[in-house]
Amino acid sequence: MAGTVALSVAATSITRTRATTEPALVRWTLIGVVLVFLGLFLAVPLAAVFSEALGKGVAAYFAAFREPDALAAIRLTLLTAAIAVPVNLLFGVAAAWAIAKFEFVGKNLLITLIDLPFSVSPVVSGLIYVLLFGLQGWLGPWLAEHDIKIIFAVPGIVLATIFVTFPFVARELIPLMQAQGTEEEEAARVLGAGGWQTFWRITLPNIKWGLLYGVILCNARAMGEFGAVSVVSGHVRGLTNTVPLHVEILYNEYNSTAAFAVASLLAMLALVTLAAKSIVEWKSQRQMAAGKRTAAEGKVR
Amino acid sequence: MSIEVRHITKTFGDFTALKEVSLEIPTGELIALLGPSGSGKTTLLRVIAGLEVADPGSGAILFDGEDATSRSSRDRQVGFVFQHYALFRHMTIFENVAFGLRVRPRKVRPSESEIRERVSALLKLVQLDWLAARYPSQLSGGQRQRVALARALAVEPKVLLLDEPFGSLDAKVRKELRRWLRRLHDELHVTSVFVTHDQEEALEVADRVVVMNEGRVEQVGTPDQVYHHPANPFVYNFLGNVNLFNGRVEGGKVHIGDMAMELPEQMRPDAETAVVYVRPHLLEIDHQPTNTNHFRARVEHINPAGPLVKVELISEWGDPVQVEISQERYRDLRLKKDAEVFVTPKEKKIFVEKYSI
């Protein structure tokens, strides 16, 4: 839920002349529409989450977290993110590196495949795993024979999360690395640097802000994913419930204070993510601008 | 270190960038690879550096007589200056120059103080020691160019390769830098190859010029040789402005309009048409006919700005002709637009075209 909201406020305040701007009425109407929309769909729900959560006092709010099931859900969510994010970080960097710096057959197919999780409904992604690893699935009998549990267990949740958060890092890095080209790597190679040295000293520092940005989004989604995880989890309290699933269960049990208290955790994650995202965005834009300036000045004849 | 390129062919898909190119570069020389874009000059430079691999089985690159074809670019000990410099944008100028030393295996890596000393010396050499703590984005184009050169020199390369080293600089900085490069080369005497599409640059800086076209070497020679004794029409055409006159060959002479010019002895054979090339400053303009070898023309446009006056004429057979005359001559002639004049070639170059029908 968090992070997918594209909230980019233009921080630049340019004083424009009359010739290039709309009448005040038009401007303020448009800004007003946007603000009302944001208020209705973002600010009010967010406020509602916290007011409901704190409605019965601070004590009740914190009591919701002392419950063993809630703690288990938080632990599982953290564990899932701790596995899914590094895996997708490695995959994302490798895929972006391959796509941006090399020519090979099937490159376009790979780019399309990376986008697949974005275009498939998360519920369908979850079902794919059930079909693959479930008892009636293709690999089900073999897994049952060897006593490996994937569906309705932690591995299934991790797998589904990895699948859903697959594109974030790669998608962020591919355009960045393509824009940067391969000249700096070539320069490093001619100067005697090996493959690893080139990667650690040249490539990675050049993409670090883009990478961090991708990781933040990936993490937000990994912790907040509901659909795919819901299908494969089996909702076993204290065992296979992540935070979003736990919220649903509490809500369905009319335990709204606890539900909103736990939900407020996710809301706070969203806010932290937004803040981190803005900072990183600002940093990386400055770097991109500097890079572009270098390139543009280099090309002026 | 001497470089020898033997029958190198390089194709990118359907496009042949280099066709059986052979070239010898003796130790300590400064060579220019000159040609229009797409002539393969940059590809040749990259093949020498090992950044591009020649087509399998096509030939060899020899360094000091040793086959280096399969050596990786890491081990070729070349310094490469990229067209857009390719400075490491996240490193200071100092670290950029130090990079080649820092990535050496521990055994051969100089100590921190040695690195410091060497980098400072190099930055002094390129007159940029005061910018050591800056980042590439804070430097001007000319400064970046010099940093790129210092970085390439830091690893003490046996060969220095420069891809369009002055291509992206403005005209004035460009002229300063190329004189500076020439002086630097005279000081260091490292074998150097630079790519350029600017004939003036190649003729001014290089010991020898390699003129390339469509993946082939058209001519190799000193600037004087390629300029005054071009091997073929392409070279003549590429090294400066030139007027072309198409003529018939009859009785050992080339006829163009009323002009008849003697064919050089060795060109006499069965050709029927010949192309006469004359540089704009080798055409004489007069109000009166001076001798038999002249043609009539009408003044179309005069541009007196610059050291020479550029006059555009339309010849009696309707082709545009460019002539350059001195300011003094221009004043004496009192040329006006639409004036009828007589044009005499002072010196010309005749190339016979052979039709293979």
Token output for B160: 């220095």
A25 and A132 share a domain?
no
Q: How many CB atoms lie within 10 A of CB A211?
A: 21
A31 and A67 share a domain?
no
User: What letter represents residue B36's amino acid?
Assistant: P
Tell which phi-psi region holds residue B61, choosing left (phi > 0), alpha (psi between -120 and 50) or beta.
Answer: beta
A241 and A200 share a domain?
yes
Of the candidates A218, A255, A219, A264, the one whose C-alpha atom is nearest the C-alpha of residue A237 is A255
Nearest CB partner across the interface for A183, out of B82, B100, B140: B82
A35 and A105 share a domain?
no
Q: What is the tens place of the pLDDT at every residue in B174-227?
A: 888 888 888 888 888 899 999 998 888 899 899 999 999 999 999 999 999 998
Give the pLDDT confidence score for residue B187 in this predicted structure. Answer: 87
Predicted confidence (pLDDT) at residue B31 exceeds the cutoff of 90: yes
List, in order, residues 6 or more apart from A181 with CB less than 8 Å away: none
A220 and A159 share a domain?
yes
DSSP-derived 3-state class of residue B55: coil
Q: Does residue A156 sit within a domain? A: yes
Predicted confidence (pLDDT) at residue B269 exceeds the cutoff of 60: no
A89 and A237 share a domain?
yes
Q: What is the tens place of the pLDDT at every residue in B69-119?
A: 888 888 888 999 998 889 998 899 999 999 999 999 989 899 999 999 999
Token output for B106: 């521990």
Q: What is the tens place of the pLDDT at every residue in A234-260?
A: 777 777 888 888 888 888 888 878 888
Q: What is the DSSP letter of B37?
A: T
A36 and A157 share a domain?
no
DSSP-derived 3-state class of residue A68: helix
Number of domains making up chain A: 2
Of the candidates A206, A208, A188, the one whose C-alpha atom is nearest the C-alpha of residue A196 is A188
CA B227 – CA A101 distance, rounded (Å): 41
Whether B41 contacts B212, CB under 8 Å: yes
Start-end of H helices in chain A:
24-38, 44-53, 57-66, 68-101, 107-119, 122-133, 140-145, 154-165, 167-180, 183-190, 195-198, 204-224, 227-233, 243-252, 256-299
In chain A, positions 182-241, which contact chain B (CB-CB < 8 Å)? 183-184, 186-194, 197, 201-202, 205-206
- pTM attached to this predicted model: 0.76
Nearest CB partner across the interface for A190, out of B80, B89, B135: B80
Q: What is the DSSP letter of B108?
A: G
A49 and A62 share a domain?
no
Of the candidates A233, A94, A87, the one whose C-alpha atom is nearest the C-alpha of residue A154 is A233
Lowest mean pLDDT among A52-56, B226-230, B322-326: A52-56
Whether B263 contacts B252, CB under 8 Å: yes
A99 and A243 share a domain?
yes
Tell which phi-psi region holds residue A127, choosing left (phi > 0), alpha (psi between -120 and 50) or beta.
Answer: alpha
Whether A144 contacts A138, CB under 8 Å: no
The alpha carbons of chain A give a radius of gyration, in whole angstroms, of 23
Q: What is the tens place of the pLDDT at every residue in B116-138?
A: 999 999 999 888 888 898 999 88
B288, burial (CB in 10 Å: exposed 0-12, middle 13-18, buried 19+): exposed
Q: Does residue A138 sit within a domain? A: yes
Q: Does residue A134 sit within a domain? A: yes
A77 and A40 share a domain?
no
Q: Binning pLDDT at 50, 70 and 90, where does residue A21 land?
A: confident
A135 and A242 share a domain?
yes
- Inter-chain contacts counted by CB atoms under 8 A, chains A and B: 87
Residue A261 vs residues A12, A53, A81, A235, B253: alpha-carbon distances, Å: 37, 4, 21, 19, 103
Q: Do B51 and A189 touch (CB under 8 A)?
A: yes
ipTM exceeding the 0.85 mark: no
Q: Does residue A277 sit within a domain? A: no
Task: Show residues of chain B in contact with A205, CB under 8 Å.
Answer: 90
CA B332 – CA B346 distance, rounded (Å): 19
Q: Binning pLDDT at 50, 70 and 90, where does residue B268 land?
A: low
Q: Do B89 and A294 touch (CB under 8 A)?
A: yes
Q: Do B87 and A301 touch (CB under 8 A)?
A: no
Quote the domain boundaries for residue A41.
16-53
List, in order, residues 6 or more apart from B27 with CB less than 8 Å away: B1, B2, B191
User: In a mutagenesis test of the B interface, which of A191, A196, A202 is the best target, namely the one with the most B β-carbons within 10 Å?
Assistant: A191
Mean of all residue pLDDT scores within chain B: 87
Q: Binning pLDDT at 50, 70 and 90, where does residue B265 land?
A: low
CA B152 – CA B103 distance, rounded (Å): 14
Residue of B nearest to A295 (CA): B84
Q: Do A205 and B90 touch (CB under 8 A)?
A: yes
Q: What is the DSSP letter of B135?
A: -
Token output for A42: 């973002």
Whether A262 contacts A247, CB under 8 Å: yes
Q: Do A298 and B168 touch (CB under 8 A)?
A: yes
Give the pLDDT confidence score for residue A293 in this predicted structure. Answer: 55
A24 and A100 share a domain?
no
Give the pLDDT confidence score for residue A16 in this predicted structure. Answer: 53
Whether B101 contacts B115, CB under 8 Å: yes
Token output for A72: 């288990």
